[in-house]
A and B are shown apart, each in its own frame.
Chain A
Amino acid sequence: MLDCTPKEMLERKSGGLINPAKTCQPIGAMYAALGIHNCLPHSHGSQGCCSFHRMHLTRHFRDPIMASTSSFTEGTSVFGGVANLKAAIKNVFDIYGPDVIAVHTTCLSETIGDDIPSTIKAAEIPPGKVVIHANTPSYQGSHVTGFSNMTKAMVSYLAETAGGVKKDQVNIVPGFVNPGDMREIKRLVKAMGISFILFPDTSGVVDSPMTGEFAMYPRGGTTIEQLKDTGNSKLTVALGRFASSEAAELLSSKCKVTAVALKTPIGIKATDAFLMALRGTFAAEIPYELEEERGQLVDIMTDTHFHFHGKRVAIFGDPDIVTGLTEYVLSLGMIPVHVLTGTPGGAIGSGMGSFEEDIQQMLAEAKLSANVKAGGDLFLLHQWIKNQPVDLLIGNTYGKYIARAEDIPFIRVGFPVLDRSVHSYLPIVGYRGAMRLIEMISGALLDRADRDAKDEDFELVM
Chain B
Amino acid sequence: MAFTEQQLEEMLSQYSPKVQKNRKKHMFVRDTSLEHQQIEANTRTIPGVITNRGCAFAGCKGVVLGPLKDMVHIVHGPVGCAFYTWGARRNKAKSEDPTQNFMNYCFSTDMQESDIVFGGEKKLAKVIDEVVEIFKPHAITVSATCPVGLIGDDINAVAKAAEERHGIPIMAFSCEGYKGVSQSAGHHIANNILMDRVIGAGDLEKAPGKFPINMLGEYNIGGDSWEIERVLKEIGYTIVSVMTGDGSYEELKNAHVAELNLVQCHRSINYIAEMLETKYGTPWLKVNFIGIQSTIESLRNMALYFNDPGLLQRTEEVIAREAAKAEKGLEQYRKICEGKTAFCFVGGSRGHHYQGLFAELGIETVLAGYEFAHRDDYEGRQVIPDIKLDADTKNIPELHVKQDERRFCLKLTPEKMAELKAKIPLSYYAGMSVEMKDGTVIVDDLNHFETELFIKLLQPDIFASGIKDKYVVQKMGIPAKQLHSYDYSGPYAGFGGAVNFARDVSMAFASPTWNFIVPPWKDQPLLNGAVNSEGVA
Contact = CB atoms under 8 A, between A and B. Distances in A.
A and B from one complex: yes
Interface in A1-44: 1-4, 6, 10, 12-20, 22-24, 26-27, 42
Interface string A55-90: 110110011111111111111110000001101111
Contacts of B83: 20, 22-24
A139 B116 contact: yes
Contact of A139 (B86, B113, B182, B468): B113
Nearest to A3: B98
A96 B449 contact: yes
A90 B19 CA distance: 11
B392 interface: yes
B471 A49 contact: no
A222 to B, nearest CB: 22
A210 interface: yes
Given A3-B98, A52-B84, A108-B150, A14 B126 contact: yes
A16 B102 contact: no
A161 B301 CA distance: 75
Interface residues of A, number: 83
A219 to B, nearest CB: 13
Contacts of B112: 15, 139-140
A40 B384 CA distance: 39
A148 interface: no
Contacts of B77: 107, 138
Interface in A379-436: 379, 398, 401
B82 A139 contact: no
B146 interface: yes
Interface string B152-180: 00000000000000000000000011111
B49 A68 contact: yes
B149 interface: yes
A4 B102 contact: yes
Given A14-B127, A107-B147, A138-B78, A210 B50 contact: no
Interface string A112-124: 1000000000000
Contacts of B149: 77
A4 B101 contact: yes
Contacts of B5: none
B517 A211 contact: yes
Given A74-B179, A139-B112, A211-B517, A4 B99 contact: yes
Contacts of B473: 214
Given A69-B51, A91-B48, A17 B468 contact: no
Interface string B272-316: 000000000000000000000000000000000000000000000
A95 interface: yes
Given A13-B126, A17-B79, A18-B105, A91 B84 contact: no
A48 interface: yes
A19 B44 contact: no
A233 interface: no
A386 B516 CA distance: 48
Nearest to B98: A3
Contact of A47 (B45, B88, B99, B126): B45
A349 interface: no
Nearest to B125: A14
A178 interface: no
A76 B395 CA distance: 13
A149 to B, nearest CB: 14
Contacts, number: 263
B54 A51 contact: yes
Contacts of B48: 42, 68-70, 87-92, 95
A440 to B, nearest CB: 23
A4 B137 CA distance: 10
Interface string A293-311: 0000000000000000000
B106 interface: yes
A267 interface: no
A51 B58 contact: yes
B49 A91 contact: yes
A445 B290 CA distance: 44
Contact of A95 (B87, B104, B105, B449): B449
B108 interface: yes
Contacts of B147: 107-108, 110-111, 139
Contacts of A63: 471
Tell which of B104, B112, B113, B123 has the most Cβ of chain A within 10 Å. Answer: B104
Contacts of B46: 71, 87, 91
Contact of A23 (B80, B111, B176): B80
A24 B129 CA distance: 25
A74 B177 CA distance: 9
A107 B78 contact: yes
Contacts of B129: 14
A443 to B, nearest CB: 23
B326 interface: no
Nearest to B43: A73
Interface string B25-47: 00000000000000000001111
B340 interface: no
B64 to A, nearest CB: 15
Contact of B123 (A15, A69, A96, A112): A15
A355 to B, nearest CB: 17
A111 B99 CA distance: 38
Contact of B392 (A2, A54, A75): A75
Interface stretch (B405-413, B428-436, B474-482): B474-482
A71 B44 contact: yes
Contacts of B80: 23-24, 26-27, 49, 52, 107, 138
B116 A111 contact: yes
A166 B227 CA distance: 68
B126 A51 contact: no
B6 interface: no
A77 B146 contact: yes
Contacts of A1: 104
Tell which of A70, A137, A212, A401 has the most Cβ of chain B within 10 Å. Answer: A212
B251 interface: no
Nearest to A402: B104
Tell which of A24, A56, A211 has the most Cβ of chain B within 10 Å. Answer: A24
A345 interface: no
Contacts of B123: 14-16
A72 B49 CA distance: 13
A139 B126 contact: no
B55 interface: yes
A18 B135 CA distance: 11
A196 B16 CA distance: 41
A69 B445 CA distance: 14
Interface string A356-398: 0000000000000000000000010000000000000000001
B465 to A, nearest CB: 12
Given A47-B54, A58-B467, A214 B105 contact: no
Nearest to A397: B87
B475 A45 contact: no
B472 interface: yes
B102 A88 contact: no
A27 B81 CA distance: 12
Pairs of residues from A and B, 9 with the lowest C-beta to C-beta distance, nearest first: A48-B55, A24-B80, A88-B48, A91-B48, A16-B127, A14-B126, A88-B47, A3-B98, A138-B78
Given A20-B79, A42-B48, 14 more contacts: A14-B129, A16-B108, A16-B131, A20-B83, A20-B106, A48-B58, A52-B81, A55-B468, A68-B49, A75-B391, A107-B145, A210-B475, A215-B475, A342-B79
Interface of B: 15-16, 19, 44-58, 74, 77-84, 86-88, 98-102, 104-113, 115-116, 123, 126-127, 129-131, 133-135, 145-147, 149-151, 176-182, 391-392, 395, 448-449, 452, 467-477, 517-518
25 contacts: A2-B104, A10-B134, A14-B123, A16-B109, A16-B110, A19-B106, A45-B177, A47-B51, A48-B55, A51-B52, A51-B468, A53-B84, A58-B470, A71-B53, A87-B46, A91-B48, A91-B49, A94-B15, A95-B15, A107-B147, A111-B116, A139-B147, A211-B517, A212-B477, A214-B476
